[in-house]
Amino acid sequence: MMRRVPPVSDQLRALDSARWRIAISLTVAMTVVYVGFILLIAYAKPLLATPVTDGLSLGILLGALVILAAWLLIAVYVRWANRHYDTAVAAIRRGAGPR
Amino acid sequence: MNDTAQPNIIAMGGFVLFIGLSLVITWVAARRTTSTEHFFAAGRSITGIQNGLALAGDYMSAASFLGIAGLVALSGFDGLIYSIGFLVGWPVVMFLIAEPLRNLGKYTFTDVVAFRLRQTPVRVASAIGGLAVVAFYLIAQMVGAGNLIRLLFGLPYETAVIIVGVVMLAYVLFGGMLATTWVQIVKAVLLLGGAFLLAMLVLLKFSLNPLALFAEASRQYGAAVLAPGRLVSDPLDAISLGIALMFGTAGLPHILMRFYTVPDAKTARVSVSVATAVIGAFYLLTFILGFGAMVLVGQDAIRAVDAGGNMAAPLLAEVVGGQAFLGFIAAVAFATILAVVAGLTLAGAAALSHDIWVSVVRGGHASEREQFVVARLSTVLLAVASIVLGIVFKGQNVAYMVGLAFAIAASANFPALVLSVFWRGLTTRGAQASMIVGTIATLLLIYLSPTIQIDILKQPTAWFPLRNPGLVTIPLSFAVGIIVSWIAPEPDAARRFSEVEHRIHFGD
């Protein structure tokens, strides 16, 4: 399945680094949010039991916010990928000419 | 529900209707399923929204619908920990896996790991990890199916397992990935619609304010139901389970396989967005269903029917919508089980026929006709195995089996997959060692854990303190892959990495 490919250009290498930087930063952000939530559950039970209003504890509020954070991080990635990444890939492809 | 052994006419009707509908889908899909590419990847013809719904359908198992609703109903806040853990894996799939996977592979995640390495050793190791995950997940689903159908329809356990196995086989065998995808879509829409309707009927009693419902729960059962309780007692155990759920999602073969059904990487991106939106909305609804059942059905009434709380959602449906709505929810639960089992079977069949038979036994040279025949034979084999395993493992704890499947997926499949697309230095031996050590270490540490040693074997102590080994086995598997690759570099594999770098972005 291997075939000859042109050497990876500097432009592609730069795009590659940018993609992985974004991917890893966002993965780390999700991990921090989620593991932080679990650590609060494990070590700060009374804090999470604090009522925010009638019927809403801080724990339930933060739990719903973790789900919102997952949505938000995905939205950040999709926005970046649609606006910058796709156009950059298309530009490099045009620059490389038909293969 | 007077007695669970009483079959409900509407539930039966819904059940028969859904089987009929899946057979119609199968009949239409069968005429288009004419090649291996159609059988495993639906001819790459699925749209982003369709695939997003199908991913959600594959992921929202009966365990999450009935199990989590039950857990919340019986233990309040603690049940929500699972809802959240099952969602946070999806961003990881999006950022690290979905697009590279689509651009580098053909039918299985193994294609990606093996892309620039020596085929045979990598395919064998990876198929072992993949099949181990499929086997444990399949056992969990079949055992859950047998129990639920017995409770919902009053059929004997073994009969229920055989019906699920045979109906699933019929539509996977003839309709392949196209039928499986459409059954997932129908199921995802029914499940989300059913959960939404049920939540609305609950909230109507609380002037559409979820907080009024939570407040009523805390009035009836004490403020403790809104706070963390006994479920998470050991912090390390909690983190270990949490990261296994988070990174396990990105190593589930039946989920990863779905990214090959779409035409390109951008569509894969749309699929994950849709799936995450749907799954997140569904898990938010489980907050309302769980507390709704706690308040409107009552914990004692739920425990009286099933000690594990699995019947909380159906009981709630009966209280707010009568027999008809109970029947509808029961039929949705059945559809859920059938669809998840089908997705798993197809992923297992792809590992057996594409990775083992075609790539290893035949060295990559098998005629299209032979591939298609072997794919279908593998499907039959897996369906029979799932029925047998379902009957043999009767009475096993379902949630525990699912946890096991996620732990193996996170430790055996995820590290090798990430290293193969990220790191130029990964070698054949490194990938092989990472996957084998990941699988064996996970199984071994689970055997030595308190769950097996203390709860099942009744030993006084357990050698390994954690119930879920992810915290140890995920880093271990990464470390083994990296160290083995460092010790003996593979210049060929490193040189071919530029092909990987190219295809990750361009797809060809």
Contacts with B440 (C-beta within 8 Å, 6 or more apart), sequence order: none
pLDDT at A99: 46
User: Is position B470 within any domain?
Assistant: no
Q: Does B81 touch chain A (CB under 8 A)?
A: yes
Nearest to A5 among B211, B218, B498 (CB): B498
Owner of token pair 């798993």 = B344
More confident residue, B158 or B37: B158
Angle among Cα A64, B399, B133 to the nearest 5 degrees reads 105
Q: Does B392 touch chain A (CB under 8 A)?
A: no
Q: Does A32 touch chain B (CB under 8 A)?
A: no
More confident residue, B507 or A22: A22
Q: Which residues of B171-184 are buried (b: 16+ CB within 10 A; e: fewer)?
A: bbbbbbbbbbbbbb
pLDDT at B5: 45
Which residues from A are below 8 Å from B77, CB to CB?
A: 48, 57, 59-60, 63
pLDDT at A4: 52
pLDDT at B410: 95
Say yes or no to pLDDT of A9 above 80: no
User: Is position B285 within any domain?
Assistant: yes
The top-scoring range by mean pLDDT among A94-98, B1-5, B41-45, B119-123 is B119-123
Residues 37-96 of A with CB under 8 A from B: 37-39, 41-43, 45-46, 48-49, 51, 53-57, 59-60, 63-64, 66-67, 70-71, 73-75, 77-78, 81, 86, 89, 92-93
CB contact under 8 A, A30 and B239: no
Q: What is the mean pLDDT of residues B180-186?
A: 89
Specify whether the CB–CB gap between A93 and A12 falls below 8 A.
Answer: no
pLDDT at B480: 96
Nearest to A74 among B223, B266, B276 (CB): B276
Query: What are the pLDDT digits (tens) for B363-390?
Result: 878 888 888 888 889 999 999 999 998 8
Is residue B473 very low, low, confident or very high in pLDDT (cuts 50, 70, 90)?
A: very high
pLDDT at B228: 85
Give the C-alpha separation, A69 to B387, whole Å: 40
Say yes or no to pLDDT of A8 above 80: no
CATH number at residue B382: 1.20.1730.10
Which residues from B are below 8 Å from A16, CB to CB?
A: 501, 504-505
Say yes or no to pLDDT of B151 above 80: no
Q: Which residues of B328-366 are buried (b: 16+ CB within 10 A; e: fewer)?
A: bbbbbbbbbbbbbbbbbbbbbbbbbbbbbbbbbeeeeeb
- Give the gap in angstroms from C-alpha A90 to the nearest C-alpha of chain B: 9
CB contact under 8 A, B505 and A7: no
Say yes or no to pLDDT of B447 above 90: no
- Give the gap in angstroms from C-alpha A81 to the nearest C-alpha of chain B: 9
User: Is position B94 within any domain?
Assistant: yes
Say yes or no to pLDDT of A2 above 90: no
pLDDT at A5: 54
Say yes or no to pLDDT of B7 above 80: no
pLDDT at A62: 93
User: Is position B458 within any domain?
Assistant: no
Q: What is the mean pLDDT of residues B336-364?
A: 85
Give the rounded percent of residues in chain B with a pLDDT score beyond 70.
97
Q: What is the mean pLDDT of residues B196-209?
A: 93
pLDDT at B232: 66
- Give the gap in angstroms from C-alpha A10 to the nearest C-alpha of chain B: 12
Residues 478-497 of B with CB under 8 A from A: 496
Specify whether the CB–CB gap between B383 and B176 falls below 8 A.
Answer: no
At B499, list the tokens.
């092909």
- Give the gap in angstroms from C-alpha B429 to the nearest C-alpha of chain A: 20
- pTM to 2 decimals? 0.90
Q: Does B49 touch chain A (CB under 8 A)?
A: no
Which residues from B are below 8 Å from A97, CB to CB?
A: none
Pick the residue from chain B with its C-alpha nearest to A22.
B95
Give the C-alpha separation, B11 to B106, whole Å: 40
Strands A56-57 vs A51-53: parallel, antiparallel or unpaired: antiparallel
Which residues from B are below 8 Å from A1, CB to CB?
A: 115
pLDDT at A6: 57
pLDDT at A34: 93
Cα B476 versus chain centre, distance? 24
Domain membership of residue B388 as a residue range: 9-395
Nearest to B505 among A12, A60, A70 (CB): A12
- What average pLDDT does chain B have? 87
Q: What is the mean pLDDT of residues B90-109?
A: 90
Is residue B451 very low, low, confident or very high in pLDDT (cuts 50, 70, 90)?
A: confident
Q: Does B273 touch chain A (CB under 8 A)?
A: yes
Alpha helices in B409-508 (DSSP H): 414-422, 428-447, 450, 470-487, 491-495, 497-506
Specify whether the CB–CB gap between B427 and B493 falls below 8 A.
Answer: yes
DSSP category for residue A6: P
Q: What ipTM, to 2 d.p.?
A: 0.89
Domains: count for chain B: 1
pLDDT at A96: 63
CB contact under 8 A, A56 and B211: yes
User: Is position B133 within any domain?
Assistant: yes
Query: What are the pLDDT digits (tens) for A23-74?
Result: 999 999 999 999 999 888 888 888 888 888 888 889 899 999 999 999 999 9
Which residues from B are below 8 Å from A70, CB to CB?
A: 87-88, 90-91, 276, 280
